[in-house]
């Protein structure tokens, strides 16, 4: 069946919920019409003029990037500027721009999982504490005759407790996140009469999402060997690092993009080497001084790894939902920096 932009957005919001994003971030719809039908989607790291031209060539009605096009508020749109040209191209070609940024850094199968997969790290765990899921309880009291149909229709028997009282009423107690609980309450209210509800937030916290990953190499390496291994796997033109290259490396912490401020979490998790990007001189000095070998893999190289896996994940989900949509990855992305070696 045909799909609309909002259908793809729903998939993305399931894969990388906006609530996982940092407070300063701007993920989600950047430009476009959620009700427009689309046949092709292009994934990329950034929305650039070249990416939009490729989307036009591919007849893609939507571009999904990691970096938001509209990160800072716009005071004007000057079509002679790079960003102005991009916005003009998007609008004139009816192309929607959507971004999943720090929420995709945290999400399962996101940027950092793509990194550990390329490096073939094992026994991976989360590194930096992130979003904590809220837990709510909904108490439903209804007539006994509604019990079986209600359980079957709303499929909450696995996370509910049932109590039958002497008035031929049955009481359900269901736990879940706020969105699930409120949606469930609304749907039951529409379908059933004579139902009493009580809803409240639980005092304990739910599952905590984690940004970054810590994993283990298949076998120990020296620091220099590990750096060379990362350079080869990420196809880096140069490897920038700080610390002791003669130390033994077995455990590696990774955080794609700018992550110098999270080195302490890598060290706390037992990492021998920390891979991130955008290291500053004094930050690298402090990290190396703490005994942790730190590698700057470059912003582009540590995040562009998500572009193809994201396209694959989206394609599988579209196929499962029977959407007639083709998802393609932009494979011509290049680091903004050049190197003279």
User: Binding site for a divalent metal cation: residue ranges?
Assistant: 66-67, 105, 299, 303
- Residue 117: CB atoms within 10 Å: 15
Per-residue HEC secondary structure of 30-75 comes to EECCCCCEECEEEEECCCCHHHHHHHHHHCCCEEEECCCCCCCCCC
**Separation between Cα atoms, residue 16 and residue 67, nearest integer Å:** 14
Give the integer Cα–Cα distance in Å for 334 and 266: 28
* Binding site, annotated residues: 66-67, 105, 299, 303
Paired tokens of 169? 């009423």
Query: How many beta carbons lie within 10 A of that of residue 115, not counting itself?
Result: 29
Query: How many CA atoms are closer than 13 Å to the CA of 325, on its beta-carbon side?
Result: 33
DSSP 320-335: HTT---EEEE------
Q: How many angstroms separate the CA atoms of 225 and 140, rounded?
A: 60
Could you tell me if 276 and 296 are in contact, meaning their C-beta atoms sit under 8 angstroms apart? yes
Phi, psi of 203 (to 5 degrees): -75, -25
Among candidates 86, 96, 92, 69, which has minimal Cα distance to 8? 96
């Amino acid at each position: 069946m045909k799909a609309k932009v909002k259908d793809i957005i729903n998939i993305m919001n399931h894969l990388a919920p906006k609530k996982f994003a940092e407070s300063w971030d701007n993920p989600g719809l950047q430009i476009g019409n959620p009700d427009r039908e689309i046949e092709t989607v292009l994934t990329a790291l950034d929305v650039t003029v070249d990416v939009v031209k490729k989307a036009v060539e591919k007849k893609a009605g939507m571009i999904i990037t990691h970096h938001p096009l509209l990160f800072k508020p716009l005071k004007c749109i000057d079509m002679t500027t790079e960003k102005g040209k991009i916005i003009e191209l998007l609008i004139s070609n009816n192309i929607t721009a959507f971004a999943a940024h720090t929420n995709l850094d945290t999400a399962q199968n996101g940027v950092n999982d793509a990194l550990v997969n390329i490096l073939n790290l094992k026994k991976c765990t989360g590194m930096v504490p992130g979003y904590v899921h809220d837990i709510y309880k909904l108490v439903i009291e209804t007539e006994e005759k509604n019990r079986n149909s209600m359980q079957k229709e709303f499929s909450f028997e696995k996370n509910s407790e049932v109590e039958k009282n002497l008035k031929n009423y049955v009481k359900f107690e269901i736990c879940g996140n706020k969105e699930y609980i409120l949606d469930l309450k609304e749907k039951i209210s529409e379908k059933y009469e004579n139902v009493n509800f009580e809803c409240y937030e639980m005092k304990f916290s739910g599952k905590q999402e984690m940004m970054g990953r810590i994993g283990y190499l298949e076998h120990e390496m020296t620091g220099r060997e590990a750096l060379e291994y990362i350079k080869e796997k990420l196809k880096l033109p140069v490897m920038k690092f700080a610390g002791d290259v003669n130390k033994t490396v077995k455990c590696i912490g990774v955080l794609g993009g700018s992550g110098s401020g999270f080195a302490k979490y890598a060290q706390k998790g037992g990492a021998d080497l920390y891979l991130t990007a955008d290291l500053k001189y004094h930050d690298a000095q402090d990290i190396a001084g703490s005994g942790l070998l730190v590698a700057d893999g470059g912003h582009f190289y540590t995040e562009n790894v998500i572009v193809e896996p994201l396209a694959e994940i989206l394609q599988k989900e579209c196929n499962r939902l029977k959407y007639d949509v083709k998802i393609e990855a932009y494979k011509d992305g290049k680091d903004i920096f050049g190197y003279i070696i």
